[in-house]
Amino acid sequence: MADLKGKVAVVTGASRGVGRGIAEGLAEAGATVYITGRSQSSENPPAPRTIQATARAVDDLGGKGIAVAVDHNDDEQVKALFDRVAKEQGRLDILVNNVYKIPDPPAWGGGFWEHPISVWDDQCGVGLRGYYVASVYGAPLMVAQKCGLIVNISSSGGDGYTFSSSYGVCKSGVDRMAVDMAVELKKYSVAALSLRPAAVKTEFILDAVESGAVQMDLKAAQSPRFSGRCVAALAMDPDIMTKTGGIFSVAKLAQEYRFTDPDQA
């Protein structure tokens, strides 16, 4: 079976949550993973929910983790990230656009006119524009080598109302971005697609369930690394170009590629 040794990935927003799980899933296949985020730790071992903690987990799982502090609101920091990848690795095989800013307080329910306008900037700024900027700087590396995979992390909110109006716009945009980028990248044999986890046991959700803010059956929820194993399976698919421009659920791809959720295996 093919693996990802020698392959280079960038996972944005990977200090925790789905991003961390994706970095771990790629690590299981031996990838070198650049991990971005703003939360840092200088401790040894690193404090949880930081890019250094994720990098340590990637190392422990058989990959190589490289933590890079990046504010995805700053285009120059994003450009510097990909300049660094080009200089240090000379290639980029996988870009996972996952970075997202949860509004504080979270925009769950209520009318859009009742939420601060900053909710739009939180969700459609980093969580949509941030995907575009990272792709702008990451795609040239893939185009030059005539191979690569861009994965936009989305959700079912792209199809119907979930949480808030701004959330739906963000996720619909994430999906459409992947579909249209796939058209422009196809002649370079670079795939772009959108990936939808279901309910995921992220740290944010676990905290919300514990506080009573959210009701969820955690036994039925996916682990973050389930999404990571999905991205790894996609990256190892020799026929990945047949999926370019698609919008896929993690659960359905698990059936196709036969990977399991480590929390439910």
Could you report the per-residue pLDDT of 115-128, keeping only the tens digit for each? 999 999 988 999 99
Percent of the chain clearing pLDDT 90 (strictly above): 81
* Structural domain boundaries in the chain: 8-257
Instruction: For domain 8-257, give the CATH number.
Output: 3.40.50.720
| Inter-CA distances, 208 with 167, 204, 213, Å | 18, 6, 5
The residue-averaged pLDDT of 73-82 equals: 98
Which pTM was predicted? 0.95
Model pLDDT, residue 106: 79
Reported as type and span, the H/E element at residue 37 is: strand 32-37
How far apart, in whole angstroms, are the C-alpha atoms of residue 237 and residue 257? 9
The residue-averaged pLDDT of 168-176 equals: 96
47 near 83, Cβ under 8 Å? Answer: no
Q: What is the mean pLDDT of the chain?
A: 94
Catalytic residues: 167
Provide the phi-psi class of 164: left if phi over 0, else alpha when psi is between -120 and 50, else beta.
Answer: beta
179 CB-near residues (< 8 Å, 6+ apart): 192, 194, 245, 247
